[in-house]
Chain A
């Protein structure tokens, strides 16, 4: 099976491999006798990822990123959120997206598995930016990474077909931090309050622990894919009413010997949801670009 573009080029399957071919006259007039020559796409393991970020400060091009939010309230007011549909690497950076096109596959792709990861800060509680504030958001990171995924569904769509519709915990990412937290019980006011750490993932961060497609899903070059997150009404009621993300704190020693003094500094915390597709990509060889 394959495609034949008016006998001038196309794709054909040979011995289990896809081979691209075309009329050599399109590139050279010196060897027309051959009529065409074969060329192969380079097949390599690859992953495609996209991320929704919630952070009170967005930097550079991030400020114009579609579907990113500066508050939990804004994030919670949307009933659904989309991955692989509105951002690219130039827009938000490689850490969050590795697509060149915002809404089409850059290359033919054989998707083997899908995963979703909810991430957040490891240092809690979070304070607002007001020096001497008496209120803190104590456990938003814990809620976002452990509780919220139970209340979010994710669908994955290729072209017009919905391939999966799952609770988020059923599509674990297979990667993430592990560890534990620690605290101390000092009774001090906010600003130098008890610090807690939280390190966790949804499901064991083992690369095999992902949603595996029964057979690889073939996605054509320029094909469209989309993952949609559906947040339950119960969860939206919470998210749309709470403060954050705010800031993590650190204490800086600004004193001199014999005169102890410290200053609290703050930096924005960052939450997000990252979707990943693992599989094989087919890359056209240099000088042999085709449709």
Chain B
């Protein structure tokens, strides 16, 4: 039965159609091991991420194994409700304080990784969308659009202080992939009906060049902020991430009318 028809069945409970988005995230952060939850498929270094051939979404994490900011799935490997898929977007987000600092005594500043991640890496990654056994999309990640990203401007100061980071010359960026609107997403010509409990997966496959590039990189490094004692700088690891979002309508069973 087409999923659209599930909305209204005479004499049967009906589903409520709501606009919704499902998203899942792969992230790279140095302090992954210190978090209370270490989501599957996340990495503690660029080198480890570069060693992986591909990265999976929507079939490995849920909002319990990950923070809700990064994944809003109820079930790790099935859809919790019927869904009409209308758009897909991929956002390579990064620290927008684009100068990061190493966790070493020499306080080496790394200014280039955010720009590489957000503006260069998507060009070198492919994406496959699979619903049950069918491939519905195979595309370059930069083609798909990122949805809303930072808009505006920031400027770093050119001052190099003798005191490490006290007034360190940070570069501030507003990076994204395309126009920063919700409409900036790949649109399917006709909504794809995904039944409840279907298996959906998105796989991002970096090119050999991209994987070698990631393996070559050190980091990710850290932010530096003035600590709450106002006495020193507090270093905290930054996070780079790839968030895939499926936009569409969910068909929700009304309260008290749950069924298989």
Chain A residues engaging chain B, CB cutoff 8 angstroms: 71-73, 125, 128, 133-140, 142-143, 145-147, 150-153, 155, 160-161, 163-170, 172, 176-188, 190, 193-206, 208-215, 230-235, 237-238, 240-244
Among B35, B174, B234, B245, max chain A CB count under 10 A is at B174
Given A170-B148, A243-B228, does the pair A232, B158 have CB atoms closer than 8 Å? no
- Taking CB atoms, residues of chain B closer than 8 Å to A147 are 95-97
Residue of A nearest to B173 (CB): A146
**Can you list 22 contacts pairing A with B, beta carbon distance less than 8 Å?**
A135-B166, A142-B154, A147-B97, A153-B72, A164-B20, A165-B68, A169-B93, A170-B147, A172-B182, A177-B152, A182-B155, A186-B159, A193-B167, A198-B152, A201-B151, A203-B151, A203-B180, A213-B18, A232-B68, A242-B227, A243-B226, A243-B230
- Taking CB atoms, residues of chain B closer than 8 Å to A135 are 166, 226, 230-231, 233
Judge whether B67 and A242 touch: CB under 8 Å: no
Residue of A nearest to B225 (CB): A242
Chain B: interface residue count, which band?
35 or more
| List of 3 A-B pairs having minimum Cβ-Cβ separation, nearest first | A200-B152, A203-B148, A180-B153
B91 within 8 A of A: yes
Q: Within B201-253, which residues are at the interface with A (CB < 8 Å)?
A: 223, 225-231, 233-234, 236, 239, 241, 243, 245, 249
Report the minimum CB–CB distance from B77 to chain A (whole Å).
19
Judge whether A180 and B155 touch: CB under 8 Å: yes
Chain B residues engaging chain A, CB cutoff 8 angstroms: 17-21, 23, 29, 31, 35-37, 63, 67-70, 72, 91, 93, 95-97, 147-160, 163, 166-168, 170, 172, 174, 179-183, 223, 225-231, 233-234, 236, 239, 241, 243, 245, 249, 255
Q: Among B23, B227, B229, which residue has its beta carbon within 8 angstroms of that of A170?
A: B23
- Taking CB atoms, residues of chain B closer than 8 Å to A165 are 63, 68, 72
C-alpha spacing A4/B151, complex, angstroms: 51
Report the minimum CB–CB distance from A42 to chain B (whole Å).
28
- Taking CB atoms, residues of chain B closer than 8 Å to A153 are 67-69, 72
Report the minimum CB–CB distance from B185 to chain A (whole Å).
10
- Taking CB atoms, residues of chain A closer than 8 Å to B148 are 169-170, 172, 202-204, 209
- Taking CB atoms, residues of chain A closer than 8 Å to B172 are 139, 142, 181, 196, 198
